[in-house]
Amino acid sequence: MARRKKTSPLEDALDLLSMLPWWVCVALAAVSYVLLHRWAAPVQALDFQGQGGAVAGAVMQRAVVQGLATIGQYLVPLLCLAAAALSVWRRKHRESLLADVAQARDAAVLDGVSWQEFELLVGEAYRQQGYRVTEIGGGGSDGGVDLVLTKGGKKFFVQCKQWKAYNVGVATVRELYGVMAAQGATGGFVVTSGRFTEDAQAFAQGRNVQLVDGDRLRAMIQRARRAQGPATVGQRESATATDGAQTHVEGAAAPQATSRPECPRCGAPMELRTARRGAHAGTAFWGCSTYPKCRGTRAVE
């Protein structure tokens, strides 16, 4: 994935502040103005005759602080207010992206977004699952980590790969796993709009690294979209029709899409299946829709 271009310290500060809720940025604008306005108070003139050099130095230092505070009392609040506006825009933009992807017919819609939008989508999908998301990008010495998730005191790393039709190989998964071990992360996720090679899937088996391809990411985004609030009638009808078309049942009537549970292992929608062999032959059970990538099962209640 392409990485961020070099930016100025002012742009970096604006980007960092915009990650905060808009109301926090507004509060920071008010507090910074009050403090800097106080520091910008004029320095009282002093007679340096008979006074030590330390006194003169202190006054000169106070004058420098006053000059910086005079400029900062307007610049810093404006920066915070601009960050508040950017925070609101980003939230609206994330909601719009979620709606577009959730209503799309397949995961190919992910190929049309930029890498920045792809990271926003991934972050919002995990945020809706209760994670606290920190967007850091993967261009530094962090092994390509794009997002840091925290939940219940545990830390998870996410590496985003918008590789479209390309397959993500085992080297990427190994890289993330190494960073996780070095920095003590509980788990990690490699998320792509494409697919994973068989070697990558084999390496992730039995390790605390989950591979999320385009189809699974789209399912996550659909759940995140539904978690935001009631959908419109048209969206509900579209979602029901899509889920119904994808439901495959072996030897049993298909249940309604809304009754399908989520896989306990990967969170993907499950399908009603019938065991064909073994001691439970002929018994219905829920199986993960991503089988054979995920072999999660659940008993029919």
The pLDDT tens digits along the chain (301 residues) read 444 455 677 777 887 787 788 888 899 999 999 998 888 877 555 554 555 556 667 777 878 888 888 888 899 999 999 989 988 887 787 777 777 777 766 666 676 777 888 888 888 889 888 899 888 765 444 557 999 999 999 999 999 987 665 789 999 999 999 999 999 999 999 999 888 999 999 999 989 999 998 888 888 888 766 765 554 434 444 433 344 333 333 333 333 333 578 777 777 787 777 766 655 666 777 788 887 777 778 777 6
According to the model, what pLDDT value does residue 175 have? 93
CATH 3.40.1350.10 is the classification of domain 107-219: yes
Boundaries of every domain in the chain: 9-103, 107-219, 236-299
> Measuring CA to CA, how many Å separate 187 from each of 202, 209, 217?
17, 6, 17
Distance CA(32)–CA(76), nearest Å, equals: 7
Structure token pair of residue 17: 């502040």
Distance CA(218)–CA(90), nearest Å, equals: 20
* Number of neighbours of residue 181 by Cβ within 10 angstroms: 12
According to the model, what pLDDT value does residue 148 have? 94
According to the model, what pLDDT value does residue 241 have? 39
